[in-house]
Amino acid sequence: MNKEEIKDLALNIMFDVTDKEAEDIENEFKTLDKMLEFFDSIDTSNVEEMVYPFDDPTSYLRQDVTSKTISQNDAMSNVAKTKQGHVVVPKVVK
């Protein structure tokens, strides 16, 4: 990405980006691109795929237990604008 593309993207998502910030982001993209090129150069053809990154199963995760719930009407009681049971917020992206 070049500086103009970054500034155009920032404008589309309603961010103000200075020239210096755009240059910094461009440099970060260049660094990231170099890292990705490095990873692409690693030969992984003889590496076995992993479904889970650890050999031992995790047993420390807690069970999800519902302790207190509120109704949808109660949840929406402080919302300024709703439509068909959903919260309506102002559009922030083009």
Name the pTM for this structure. 0.50
More reliable by pLDDT, 55 or 74: 74
Q: What's the whole-number mean pLDDT along residues 55-67?
A: 78
Torsion over CA of 21, 24, 29 and 35, rounded to 10 degrees? -150
Interval 16-33 mean pLDDT: 94
Predicted pLDDT at 25: 95
